[in-house]
Structure 1
Amino acid sequence: MVSFVFNGGGLWSTLLVALKRRRFNVDRPMVALTVAIYAYCGAIILASIVNNSIVTDAAQLVPLITFLFFPFSYSAWSISQKPTLARIIILSSMAACFGALLLTGIQYYWLGMERVEGGAGNPIVFATVVCLSVMVCMAGALSGIERNRGLLVCAALAGTIAILYSGSRIMWLAMLIAGIAVLLIHRRKLRSRNARRLLLVSGAVGLAIAALGFQIILERAEFLRSDWEALIAHGDHNTALGFRVAMWQIGLDAFREMPFFGHGVRASGALIKQGFLDQFGMDKGFSHFHNGFLTALVEAGIVGALALASIFAVAARNAARVLRMSVDPIERFGATMIVIVVITYLTGGMVGILVGHDILDSVLMIFLVSGTYLASGRTLPTMDEPTPPAASTVVG
């Protein structure tokens, strides 16, 4: 549903810009990010051309459209008032956290699912999106944009429970790192008595949640210990950790074969299946290497991996510049959104999907579009409104 809404909106935004019913917003941070995103798309297409598979890869190249919509969605969203957009983002994240808790209760206690996965069909993907929502609620409460801090804290705690029941250990780590980053960004706000009280209450409730989910944490930790022991002591790759280690070894071997432009976007599945048979005598198949940058290295070589890394590097640089120079709460909130999405995606992408999943791609673009606009974008009038005069033309 998220993918449908964003891509549909992106298509409509592209038509509006093409028909000159919306102005094309050319902000320097947006342009830099667009260059990085389009370079990644170009690297993926180039890999298919080099491997003479552009026709057979056509279906796998279609999801790149989500990335190509970035500058057009940005331009269409630029007519919105920044305070209104920021509040919409915060309130939507709050609703997402409460919705995630509802789905957790249904799936875990009613349907008896061992790991909740929301509507994503994948616990890690579900936990990734909820982690972003939790961090936005946390940033919204600390920024002062939304007055109802208590409700935001409750929403953040509801989302935290959902992430806990997803059993996604890497998202537990991502939530910890992103949470520390949000606190550091808003450290000056924590000096007030109300903020300290809010933080203490949140910490106490967080400890209660950890105690409530102690059994889940213990079970997941035991699984990891057992997988590690089986891999190290017995060379057993028939575990979740063993599968990942095997895929990383297969991926590195495949990268060495074609280091510059890769094997093409369709190659991962076949390489993994053949690698498991040849190297481990196992009949296993996966669609990606459970490491976002390794997948990019195999599919598009060094060119593709560097282009993918540049998206997050440029986004982080844009955010750092705003956080260093601006005191405006809206701009700092937008920059915080970028920091949150960069940390969450890079952490989760080390052992899972970084890009290439429909909802993850759409949510990444949503955060980059809205975060960049709030942090450093200029608000554009609609085509039937006069363009505001430049500062240099204003007299007196």
Structure 2
Amino acid sequence: MKYFKQLMIEALYPGNGAVSAHDRNNGIAVFLFAILPGLSPNFNAFILLASMLWGAFSLATGRLALNLSRSDRLVAIGMSMYPLVMIASIVINPPYSEVPDWIFRLLPFFSIWLILPRMRQSPDGRLVPLFILGAGIGMIATFLLSLLQIAFLMDRPEGGTTNAALLGIIGILFGGIALLNLQSPKSMEQRIAILGYAAGLGCVLLSGTRSAWLVIPVHIVIFLWFFRKRGFHLSLRSLAITGSLLFVGLVALGSGPVLHRIQELQENLTSLESTDGQITSLSARFALYKGALSAISKDPLTGYGPQNRMTSVLAELPDNIRPQLSFTHVHNGFLTAGIDAGVFGIAALSLMLLTPVIGAWRKEAGPGRDLAIALALLLFSSYVITGSFGIMFNQKALDPIFAYMVALICTDRGSIRFAPVVSS
């Protein structure tokens, strides 16, 4: 309890004066943003929108200056290309009744211009540790909520999200972020790191998000690189014992949902040979991919606009299966971008996905750069792998998370050393 009391002091009362007031607000926003994705992702969108409005007001009134570095501007332009290409596609493809709604959905991708100057008002090295610690706490709370949902006989828990797959994506990303706190010298933060990662994996397994399972080995490679370079304070013996116990617990808890989803996949593969016209999760994806590729080949330059996305895809499919494909996207982020805005949409999406890696890579050498690269690779791999089999963007939870994390990755200088959130 003493640690958490000190944590509240560090988050709420970092100091006095005008700069510290900015720092306090930044700390609260970043900490809550890391805790909330699995509990109530709508609040993440609210935090981002509020930060954007306050940033715009501060820049307009001269309270803050748009003093972005050359690297910052490169990242911000890379982020902005995607929404600009999508807006152009929306404008040139009627009907126009949904134009304001789609433009509003794209606003988070412009946020780095407004929130990065605000984040820079905090001392270097303060916000990222808060975010990593908050990710661990949020994952533990999300996992407990998911267990409660399982107890009430939900087949696939959703946490505080509205979709089990979304819980899996958030679990794999924020669980991975939480584990980075193994480098903290504080024993409590190390425990939260291990429990947060285990909780994130628990959410992934219980949710049955198969695409998120594919991310796990990639994240392990990232951890091996990062901890081999930066090290951690936990003894190998303690890590082995703790990890083994948690692994056994996760296997015991998640084996049922995992086996069920594997069996379901096998049944779907078998049903592909059937000719009775029954649509399964797997056959629906194949049909959507086929329709999307056919539609893109007919209009590869401008696309059809997101407002015409599914209409264009379904027009390429047989009449008998169209009523069974009631989706809003084609379960592949790159194909979705191709339908929306052609090859320019795919190129803009690819550039935006690389912006966190570019922002981290261009930092000066040092521990801050290594941590930023680890965060960027966790973010990039989570979105690319899960988004290649499901939703990637144009989602009210995933869009703010990506945009906010890109700004956070750019915040610190590369030479900054990691410091625990509670130092005393």
TM-score in terms of structure 1 length: 0.87
State the partner residue of 1:248: 289
The answer for the alignment partner of 1:336 in structure 2 is 374
Structure 1 residues 192 and 269: CA distance shift in structure 2, 3 A: same
Which of 340, 352, 355 matches 2:390? 352
Q: Give runs of aligned pairs for residues 279-298 of structure 1, distance below 5 A.
A: 280=321, 282-298=323-339
Give 1:279 shift: 6.7
Moved more, 254-263 or 134-143: 134-143
Residues 1:22 and 2:64 aligned together: yes
Supply the distance in 2 between the matched residues of 1:11 and 1:377 (Cα, whole angstroms): 31
Displacement of 1:127: 1.7
**Mapped partners of 2:52, 2:328: distance in 1:** 27
**Hey, what does 2:366 align to over in structure 1?**
327
Give aligned pairs, total.
374
Distance 1:172 1:50, change over 3 A: same
Q: Is the 8 A contact 2:172 2:212 kept in 1?
A: yes
Q: Report how far residue 247 of structure 1 moved.
A: 0.5
The structure 2 residue matched to 1:33, chosen from 75, 99, 108, is: 75
Name the aligned partner's letter for residue 209 of structure 2.
S
Residues 24-61 of structure 1: per-residue CA shift (max 9 Å, x gap): 13122321111112111111111123224455422122
- Alignment-derived partner of residue 40 in structure 2: none
Q: CA deviation at 1:189?
A: 4.5
Preserved contact between residue 29 and residue 376 of structure 1 (Cα < 8 Å): no
Correspondence for 2:258: 217
The alpha-carbon distance between structure 1 residues 178 and 276, as it changes in their structure 2 partners (threshold 3 A), is same
Instruction: Return the offset for 1:200.
Output: 5.1
Is the CA contact 1:87–1:145 (under 8 Å) kept in the aligned structure 2?
Answer: no
**Residues 1:363 and 1:146: Cα distance change in structure 2 (over 3 Å):** farther
Letter matched to residue 75 of structure 1: P
- Which of 63, 66, 74 matches 2:108? 66
| Counterpart-to-counterpart distance in 1, 2:82 and 2:128 | 29
Which residue is 1:80 aligned to? 122
Shift of 1:178: 1.8
Deviation, structure 1 residue 349: 0.4
Q: Secondary structure at 2:49's aligned position in 1?
A: helix
1:263 alignment partner in structure 2: 304
CA distance, structure 1, for counterparts of residue 210 and residue 352 of structure 2:
25
CA distance in 2: counterparts of 1:308 and 1:335, whole angstroms: 20
Structure 1 residues 27 and 281: CA distance shift in structure 2, 3 A: closer
Aligned to 2:12: none
Instruction: Decide whether the 8 Å contact of 2:184 with 2:232 is kept in 1.
Output: no
Moved more, 366-375 or 280-289: 280-289
Return the letter of the residue paired with 1:89: F
Change (3 A) 1:282 1:20: same
Deviation of the 1:361 alpha carbon: 0.4
- Deviation of the 1:241 alpha carbon: 0.7
Answer with 228-237 or 20-29: which moved more: 228-237
Hey, what's the Cα distance between the residues in 2 that align with 1:191 and 1:32?
33
Which residue pairs with 2:203 in the alignment? 162
**Cα gap change, 1:252 to 1:96, in 2 (>3 Å):** same
Over 3 Å counting, the alpha-carbon distance change for 1:144 and 1:277 in structure 2 is farther
**After the TM superposition, which segments of 4 or more aligned residues of structure 1 sit over 6 Å from their partners?**
none
Aligned counterparts of 1:24 and 1:146: Cα–Cα separation in 2? 39
Q: Alpha-carbon deviation of 1:284? A: 2.6
Does the 8 Å contact 1:291/1:354 carry over to 2? Answer: yes
2:410 is matched with: 372
- The counterpart of 1:313, out of the listed 354, 368, 380, is 354
Structure 1, unpaired ranges of 5+: 379-396
Say whether residues 1:90 and 2:129 are aligned partners.
no
Tell me the SS of whatever aligns to 1:107.
helix
Partner Cα separation in structure 1 for residue 148 and residue 403 of structure 2: 29
What is the SS of the residue equivalent to 2:397?
helix
Cα contact 1:291–1:349 (8 A) shared by 2: yes
| 8 A contact 1:273–1:285 mirrored in 2 | no
Deviations 1:181-205 (A, max 9, x none): 1222221355877146415532442
Structure 2 unmatched runs, 5+: 1-42, 417-424
Aligned residue in 2 for 1:129: 170
Identity of aligned residues (%): 21
Matched, 1:151 2:192: yes
- Asked if structure 2 preserves the Cα contact closer than 8 Å seen for 1:276 and 1:283, the reply is no
Q: What is the CA–CA distance in structure 2 between the aligned matches of 1:375 and 1:219, rounded to whole Å?
A: 46
